[in-house]
Chains A and B, each alone.
Chain A
Amino acid sequence: MRRNLLEKLFVICLIVFTNAGLFAQNNEGQIHGNFQVDAQIYRQDSAIGADVPPEKMGLNTYANFTFTKGDFSAGLRYEGYMNALLGYDEQYDGVGVPYRYISYQNDGLSITVGNFYEQFGNGLLFRSYEDKSLGYDNAIDGLRVKFNPYKGVYLKGFTGKQRSYFDVGPGIVRGVDGEFFINDIFSALSENKTQVILGGSFVSKYQKDEDPRFKLPENVGSFAGRASLVHGGFNLSGEYAYKYPDPSADNGYNIKFGDALLINATYSQKGLGIYLSMKRVDNMNFRSDRNASLNNLQINFIPAITTNHTYSLAAMYPYATQPNGEIGFHGEITKNFARGSTLGGKYGTNVALNFSRVNSLKTTPTVDGTGYESEYFAIGDEIYFQDINVKIHKKINSKWKTDISYLNIIYNKDVVQGLAGYGTINANVAIADVSYKFKPRHSLRVEIQALFTEQDNGDWAMGLMEYTIAPKWFINVSDQYNYGNSDDKLHYFNVAAGYKKGANRFQLGYGRQREGIVCIGGVCRNVPASSGFNISITSSF
């Protein structure tokens, strides 16, 4: 059901009244916001399998308005999909105001009604967030209360329904969370060198059971505990989450409990950083609709603990979290060799070594409805993903800067993308990114990338040149060439130019987009191949 009429009324009221507040009374209420439009005009390009949709053009637009005055704030977001860009779910259709809220905070109490984003701990039980490039938005529509009753005590509670495109999901989600800063609570410990933070949360969902065959649990509860310990440069933190049986489409309607464990340990001092992370996840899909799939109506967020690469070819095989079961590790050492040292040279050298690996759980099938049992710290035989990479950053002189990266990636395409018959890909990627400053505000950046693999589409090479005149202009030209493909050695040529002024950015591009996966935080979206013109405008005010 659309709520368009009322939403429109709301927009008009907001604008009229807030304007009245701003101009008539000059009492320092503020309106801020932002605006974003991404449009693409599609071109038939059968070589890469890019089809033109019937509407010929895709356009996503978003506009946020936030009004604040003193302890009050109110806001809304207009969204329009005319039609949604290819790769976004077709349920993003038309226009509306799917996000609006009003909130008040005073004396440590904060109340929000309407839509809000929130996270408990690491999000293992609950995280509502939005990411437009993923088309992801599971904002809660309901009530949230945050309360800070004493120094060092932070409490939160909420209840509501989750956003699902222009509607809300069928289930209700509710939860409470407490975070306790021990050194603040007990004044005797305030000067202690070891800082301890404890936290806990409870989240449950309710969805009516309408299944004619099974008696499914209508309420599913979950709880989590977390602790963080900081001592000088050491930081150790962990969170454990447990979910009661939650039969759903994700887990084949099994009645096994779910759980997740995330531990991070870091050490850092001047010029050195060490990071270690471990994660184990078992049957932890948690949605407010037991029949939902893809990225819909997820209550929790299981972060991928692998490096998030952004160079085009390094991002060819990104990992996506497997909430049904995985166990993984991630470690990184970052070292800055100071200027003047042997390895540092005149301007210093920065080196990062990084390793991550994710495997299946070790499971044995069971005959009751739980489906399987898993051994806790045992690592399963199947590799889902591995990434070994090294990055070197070096400023050569006041004009030249370089970044060199090398990656070795093992990518289980069947598991990560939920396919069959593609097997596991082993790829090596080398990247050089060099920039040269002609004048203080004029610089040229060149990227050379190569990806080598025997599997999938074979080898790729890429070149990119970008010329910028700070702070306003840029132009870049790039080509990705799939020269190792035995069927079709395709070029993906792109050109883009843009103009920026303050917080306004305007970009125009033309070219081919290869089919691929966009991932953020381990949540991914497939993007189909496309070809044509694209326009992007962003503005903040």
Chain B
Amino acid sequence: MKNLLLAIFLILVSNSGFSQNIPNVQIKSLENKIVNTQDLFDGESLIILSFWATWCKPCIKELDAYNENIIDWAEETGVKLYAISIDNARSMSRVAPFVNGRGWEDIEFYLDPNEDFKRTMNVINVPHTLLLDGNGKILWQHTSYADGDEYELYDVIKEKSSK
């Protein structure tokens, strides 16, 4: 019965006139401040979202590669990079000292300790990178990381930013 009610409610939802793509979830900054994911999007800039964790080796390699390149990419295309850590209460306090100790100065980091944002973006495993437009529309995504994957991302950013 409950499910029927839900389904009926869905008809109403799908026939109402709202339109917005931007995911609306609360994440935290490294200073523990609550940030709404809608605030990451400015309507114009391309956004890279990279989901990672301190315990994930390929994620660390990937962020090393992004950190080496992001200044150039941003200058050329205006793209912004946000790295979303899914470290839970076990290791989320470790994220800030870890990224500083790693020397990743050019990436903006956020925490998603109960994976709400990860679930909203339908990410299964980390590392997982998405490229979205300024309104939250997914243009491209990629799961896992191998050396050289960043070249593909760069190609896509160039292609999408020139449109």
Contacts and interface: CB of A to CB of B under 8 A. Distances in A.
Interface of A: 3, 6-7, 9-10, 13-14, 17-18, 20-21, 25, 27-30, 32-34, 36, 64, 66-72, 74, 100, 102, 105, 113-114, 117-119, 122-123, 127, 129, 154, 179, 181, 195, 197, 228, 230, 233, 235, 237, 262, 264, 266-275, 277, 301, 303-305, 307-311, 332-336, 338, 348, 350, 352, 403, 433, 435, 437, 440-443, 445, 468-471, 474, 500, 502-505, 521-522, 538, 540-541
Nearest to B103: A336
B147 A264 contact: no
Given A30-B21, A119-B114, A350-B102, A308 B142 contact: no
Given A235-B31, A333-B101, 8 more contacts: A195-B33, A273-B101, A275-B98, A308-B90, A433-B57, A468-B148, A470-B148, A521-B90
A154 B34 contact: yes
Of A122, A274, A503, chain B has the most CB atoms within 10 Å of the CB of A503
A540 B3 contact: no
Given A70-B18, A154-B34, A273 B128 contact: no
B146 A540 contact: no
B93 A264 contact: yes
Contacts of B123: 34, 540
A307 B18 CA distance: 45
Contacts of A270: 100, 103, 105
14 contacts: A6-B2, A13-B7, A29-B13, A29-B14, A66-B120, A74-B10, A127-B89, A179-B34, A267-B97, A273-B99, A332-B98, A350-B102, A443-B147, A502-B143
Interface of B: 1-4, 6-7, 9-11, 13-21, 23-24, 26, 31-34, 55-57, 88-91, 93-94, 96-103, 105, 113-116, 119-125, 128, 138, 140-144, 146-149, 151-152
A27 B17 contact: yes
A123 B24 CA distance: 22
| Closest 8 A/B residue pairs (Cβ) | A70-B18, A334-B101, A273-B97, A21-B14, A273-B101, A470-B148, A13-B7, A268-B100
B16 A72 contact: yes
Contacts of B21: 28, 30, 68
A18 B14 contact: yes
A18 B10 CA distance: 8
B93 A273 contact: no
B55 A72 contact: no
A69 B146 contact: no
Given A268-B101, A350-B101, A541-B122, A71 B7 contact: no
B124 to A, nearest CB: 5
B96 A268 contact: yes
Given A100-B3, A541-B122, A195 B10 contact: no
